[in-house]
Copies of this chain bind each other. A is one copy, B any other.
């Protein structure tokens, strides 16, 4: 299944690590962190993007500052007797802005949903009016996050 054209070396990994931590670092500053010229650094950055190692850049926003103080995980079980439930559910979830992540899992339930809302009242509304309103949703289990021990989600490179 090889779509990849090239492989990456030690220097590429250091570039990826730095860019993951600070996506707005200049090629000049990055260059002398890794001991290369700005030109070569820029070329490598462009190659890493072209080959898909870097999917994009983004600002990390503070959810609490934006009034999204409550993080909630929901386990969802679907009624598998109806056809298309998985498709419908997946599409609905992609449209819901409260849903940050949604993963189909193997195990005791079908989907694990990560949600961020303002407070419990907002979550109650989301659960009742949006999630449970979807056809085929048989059961949900809610886990409110009390403390975010680790949240950055940085990949080990």
Contacts and interface: CB of A to CB of B under 8 A. Distances in A.
A58 B55 contact: no
A19 interface: yes
B53 A100 contact: no
Contact of A65 (B52, B68, B97, B106): B52
A103 B155 contact: no
B57 A103 contact: no
Contact of A19 (B59, B106, B143): B59
A147 B22 CA distance: 29
Contact of A114 (B60, B153, B157): B153
Interface of A: 4, 16, 19-24, 51-63, 65-66, 68, 71, 73, 90, 93-94, 97-108, 111-112, 114, 116, 141-157
